């Protein structure tokens, strides 16, 4: 009986630890609990670390309530999925560069949203080439530059 209680207690404690670890992991992944204040610790550098986000100027107060534009990035850094005319404008801009970029419109939109963070990377052209190239079409450096320009004009703030 004592052995069974010991095992049960171990299972409960182990389950609790697993839940806490899962909660911490999800918090990191989903960005929950992020500080709103800048980190005062010395920055660390890594070859895979993206450069820090540029700070936003303080918002000016308005007398009318306003909704943010569709391209306003969410806390995770991705802009919301464009819909309607915004989506068509994005797809048209990519199609103008090369029709293969929009062979799958949903993939094209996902690639574009993810490339918004790639534009701010140290290698935005390379990032666009990697993100938009497929087995059917390899994106050239010129096309990658044009993709980044198109995304700045349509989707990425």
Query: What is the Cα–Cα distance from 117 to 79, expressed in whole angstroms?
Result: 10
For residue 157, name the pLDDT band (cuts at 50, 70, 90).
confident
Range of the domain at 131: 84-154
Q: Is 45 inside any structural domain?
A: no
Global pTM reads 0.53
Q: Is 118 inside any structural domain?
A: yes
Q: Is 117 inside any structural domain?
A: yes
pLDDT of residue 133: 96
Domain count for the chain? 1
Q: Is 94 inside any structural domain?
A: yes
pLDDT tens readout for residues 23-77: 545 555 455 444 444 444 444 444 444 555 555 444 444 443 333 444 444 445 7
CB of 132 within 8 A of CB of 104? Answer: no
Q: What percent of the chain has pLDDT over 70?
A: 52
pLDDT tens readout for residues 110-144: 999 999 999 999 999 999 999 999 999 999 999 99
Residue by residue, DSSP assigns 94-153 as HHHH-GGGGSSHHHHHHHHHHHHHHHTSS-HHHHHHHHH--SS-PPPHHHHHHHHHHHHH
Q: What percent of the chain has pLDDT over 90?
A: 48
Q: What is the mean pLDDT of residues 101-115?
A: 96
Higher per-residue pLDDT: 88 or 19: 88
Q: Is 100 inside any structural domain?
A: yes
* Nearest partner of 115 among 150, 88, 75, judged by Cα: 150
Q: Is 116 inside any structural domain?
A: yes
pLDDT of residue 2: 61
Q: Is 40 inside any structural domain?
A: no
Q: Is 19 inside any structural domain?
A: no
């Amino acid at each position: 009986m004592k052995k069974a209680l010991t095992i049960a207690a171990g299972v409960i404690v182990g389950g609790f630890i697993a839940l806490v670890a899962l909660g911490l992991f999800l918090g990191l992944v989903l960005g929950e609990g992020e500080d709103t204040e800048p980190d005062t610790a010395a920055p660390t550098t890594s070859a895979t670390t993206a450069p820090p986000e540029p700070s936003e100027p303080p918002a000016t107060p308005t007398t009318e309530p306003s909704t943010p534009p569709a391209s306003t990035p969410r806390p995770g850094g991705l802009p919301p999925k464009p819909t309607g005319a915004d989506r068509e404008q994005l797809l048209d801009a990519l199609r103008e560069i090369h029709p293969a970029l929009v062979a799958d419109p949903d993939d094209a939109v996902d690639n574009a949203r993810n490339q918004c963070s790639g534009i701010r990377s140290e290698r935005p052209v390379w990032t666009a080439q990697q993100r938009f190239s497929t087995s059917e079409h390899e994106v050239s450096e010129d096309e990658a530059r044009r993709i980044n320009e198109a995304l700045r004009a349509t989707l990425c703030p």
